Amino acid sequence: MAAESILVVEDDPTLVHAITRNLTVRGYAARGATSVAAALDALQGERPALIVLDIDLPDGSGWEVLRALNEGHNEQVPAIVMSALRPNPRLCAELKTVGELEKPFPMESLLRLVAQSTGRLKEPLPADAGQES
């Protein structure tokens, strides 16, 4: 069975490294991008199983990445949004995100959302899981 591909888009290289390392040791094929441009380059010819997405990026909005990824496809790639500010609920609903995390968040919260989103966690999370304050 091939490892699920996950793209982590975050402008803090230390956080990208921490997230991708945690995902890789759990058997995911994770890679990172630190800008909208780098994320769009990473997505050339690839549709990941999941995207972990910061909204506030140095060269634009993470929403741009998600829109570009899903453009022209019937099925949207699941996205977990992370942001220092509470993500816009209208955009989360419109783009059908599977989870939202406010920074800072416990790594375990992100890992549980990833596991649920990729089908590795069979039991549903509580309604407030991933909604860190």
| pLDDT exceeds 90 at position 106 | yes
Higher pLDDT: 3 or 41? It is: 41
Output the 3-class SS for 47-75. CCCEEEEECEECCEEHHHHHHHHHCCCCC
The string of pLDDT tens digits covering residues 35-79 is: 999 999 999 878 899 999 999 999 999 999 999 988 877 788 899
The string of pLDDT tens digits covering residues 84-99 is: 888 888 988 888 899 9
Q: Is 119 exposed, middle or buried (0-12, 13-18, 19+ CB in 10 A)?
A: exposed
pLDDT recorded at residue 131? 42
pLDDT recorded at residue 44? 87
Provide the β-strand partners of residue 9. 33, 53
Q: What is the mean pLDDT of the chain?
A: 88
CA neighbor of 101 nearest in space, from 120, 80, 121: 80
**Domain 5-117 falls under CATH 3.40.50.2300:** yes
**In the chain, where are the structural domains located?**
5-117
